[in-house]
Amino acid sequence: MLRELFPMFARDPDLVYLDSAATSQKPKLVIDRMDQYYSFENANVHRGVYQLSEDATRAFEGARSTVARALHAADKEIIFTRGTTEAINLVAFSAGQAFLKPGDEIVLTVAEHHSNIVPWQLAAERYGARVRFIPLRKDRRLDLEAAQTIIGPRTKIVALAHISNVLGIMHPIREVIAMAKSVGAITLIDGAQGVAHLAVDVKELDCDFYAFSGHKMFGPTGIGVLYGKAEHLEAMPPYQGGGDMIEQVTLEGSTWNVLPSKFEAGTPNIAGAIGLGAAFEFMQNLDLTSTLAHDRQLGFELLEGLKEFRGVQTFVEPGPDWIGIVTFAHAKIHPHDLAAVCDGERVCIRAGHHCAQPLMKVLEVPATARVSPFLYNESRDIQRFLGALRKAEQLFL
Residues noted as catalytic: 355
Give the separation between CA 273 and CA 58, rounded to whole angstroms: 12
Are the beta carbons of 20 and 213 closer than 8 angstroms? no
Compute CA distances 385 → 170, 206, 218, 302, 325, whole Å: 25, 40, 23, 9, 14
Instruction: Spell out the residues 6+ positions from residue 223 whose beta carbon is closer than 8 angstroms to its own.
Output: 80, 81, 82, 83, 213, 214, 215, 269, 272, 273, 275, 276
Give the separation between CA 144 and CA 310, rounded to whole angstroms: 34
Give me the DSSP letters along 45-98: SSS--SHHHHHHHHHHHHHHHHHHHHHT--GGGEEEESSHHHHHHHHHHHHHHH
Q: Identify which of 295, 311, 389, 395 has the alpha carbon closest to the alpha carbon of residue 343.
A: 389
Q: How many CA atoms lie within 13 A of 105 on its CB side?
A: 15
Give the separation between CA 279 and CA 5, rounded to whole angstroms: 12
Q: Identify which of 325, 355, 354, 352 has the alpha carbon closest to the alpha carbon of residue 115.
A: 355
* 3 state DSSP class of 352: strand
- CB-neighbour burial class of residue 125 (10 A; exposed 0-12, middle 13-18, buried 19+): exposed
DSSP 3: G
Give me the DSSP letters along 365-389: -S-EEEEB--TT--HHHHHHHHHHH
